[in-house]
């Protein structure tokens, strides 16, 4: 079972604001993926606090939807959910001691092989042309020899695409490279007397673009599970539903006259008489620091008034609670970034609730 948090505030002081997680939206997104690939091949990516959604909460929802495999960033993340999944793959940390049998470790270089505790299950990453992590294809034979000699268990071999969400031919080139890497690995494993590993290449955009063609033995589903695909507009993107909404609670409200200014530097000027509410969220909680230089509408009715402060933001609202983030695209477009960053920045100290 997933280990519960210390308390509903994850060990931090109480908050009035909160994050709401829509279990029905998540189930819809997973069903969209399940229509393309068998459930047993799906690995849910829960790294970095499940893209800001909450590791324990999203692990619980994944299990409820039949997901058997997970991918995380750190040893601590893996250990906290290891009782819920058949396998948990750590992407970016080598444990000091051999982990539980269900925990697997990604290896990105020849040097890392020597650092992995004997008997550990590993997934070897091979670079298909992204030039970020993974061994060079030319190093594959050396890597497999080292893995065998080190007493490690090769349970997976994988790559990652740099352009699954871009309308170009690069994905096809990287996919072809992976096919060659896979074939070479199969030959070498047979020659070395090693069991064949699982093979995986597809992340969310790659799977949704190619379908089961790229599924191999496993697919790593991250952003799509949470309701987003930051792909080119001309690409056929599926109907996904955002899982997370961020809500602020009003601290105080006041009536202001036309011409009065709000917040630091008086950046928010009232264009007419009205009410402004101050809500308990700011850039310390993961919001971007809107500087008030241009209008910023959260939705058709809600506008940010002036600058976003460390712990507060002012809105042209007087509701006791206001949804500050329902669609991460709104914040991403305003700040010239992607939905991944908007979501992953959200503070773990904000309480999460599943509805």
Decide: 254 and 263 in contact? Cβ < 8 Å.
Answer: no
* C-alpha triplet 287, 293, 298: angle, nearest 5°: 45
Q: Answer for the pair 219, 207: CB distance below 8 angstroms, yes or no.
A: yes
Report, as residue numbers or ranges, the catalytic residues.
Answer: 47, 264
Cα 275 from Cα 252, distance rounded (Å): 11
Query: Please, where are the H alpha helices in 129-203?
Result: 140-149, 170-192
Q: Is residue 300 classed as helix, strand or coil in its secondary structure?
A: coil
In whole angstroms, give the CA distance from residue 301 to residue 280.
19
Q: Are 122 and 71 in contact (CB under 8 A)?
A: no
Report the phi/psi class of residue 193: left, alpha or beta, with left for phi > 0 and alpha for psi in -120 to 50.
left
* Strand 121-125 relative to strand 103-107, pairing: parallel
Identify the CA nearest to 165 among candidates 72, 228, 73: 228
Instruction: Note the Cα 127 to chain centre separation in Å.
Output: 21
Cα gap 303→298, rounded to integer Å: 6
How many CA atoms are closer than 13 Å to the CA of 29, on its beta-carbon side? Answer: 25
Beta carbons of 222 and 67 less than 8 angstroms apart:
no
């Amino acid at each position: 079972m997933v280990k519960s948090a210390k308390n509903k505030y994850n060990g931090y002081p109480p908050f009035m604001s909160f994050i709401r997680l829509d279990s029905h939206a998540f189930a819809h997104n997973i069903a969209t993926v399940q229509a393309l690939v068998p459930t047993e091949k799906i690995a849910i990516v829960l790294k970095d606090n499940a893209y800001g959604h909450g590791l324990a909460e999203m692990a619980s929802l994944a299990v409820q939807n039949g997901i058997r495999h997970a991918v995380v960033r750190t040893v601590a993340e893996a250990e906290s959910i290891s009782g819920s999944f058949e396998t948990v793959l750590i992407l970016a940390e080598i444990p000091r001691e051999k982990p539980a049998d269900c925990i697997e470790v990604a290896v990105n270089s020849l040097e890392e092989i020597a650092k992995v505790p004997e008997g550990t299950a590993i997934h070897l990453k091979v670079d298909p042309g992204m030039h970020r992590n993974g061994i060079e294809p030319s190093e594959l034979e050396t890597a497999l020899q080292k893995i065998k000699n080190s007493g490690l268990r090769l349970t997976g071999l994988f790559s990652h695409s740099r352009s699954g969400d871009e309308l170009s031919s690069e994905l096809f080139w990287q996919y072809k490279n992976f096919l060659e890497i896979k074939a070479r690995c199969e030959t070498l494993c047979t020659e070395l007397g090693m069991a064949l590993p699982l093979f995986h290449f597809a992340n969310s955009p790659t799977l949704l673009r190619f379908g089961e063609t790229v599924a191999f033995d496993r697919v790593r589903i991250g952003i799509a599970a949470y309701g987003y695909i930051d792909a080119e507009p001309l690409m056929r993107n599926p109907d996904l539903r955002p899982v997370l909404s961020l809500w602020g609670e009003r601290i105080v409200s006041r009536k202001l006259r036309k011409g009065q200014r709000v917040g630091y530097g008086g950046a928010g000027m009232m264009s007419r008489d009205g009410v402004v509410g101050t809500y308990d969220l700011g850039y310390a909680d993961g919001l971007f620091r809107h500087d008030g230089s241009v209008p910023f509408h959260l939705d058709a009715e809600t506008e940010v008034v002036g600058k976003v402060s460390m712990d507060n933001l002012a809105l042209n609202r007087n509701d006791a609670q206001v949804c500050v983030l329902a669609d991460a695209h709104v914040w991403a477009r305003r700040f010239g970034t992607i939905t991944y960053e908007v979501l992953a920045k959200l503070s773990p100290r904000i309480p999460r609730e599943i509805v």
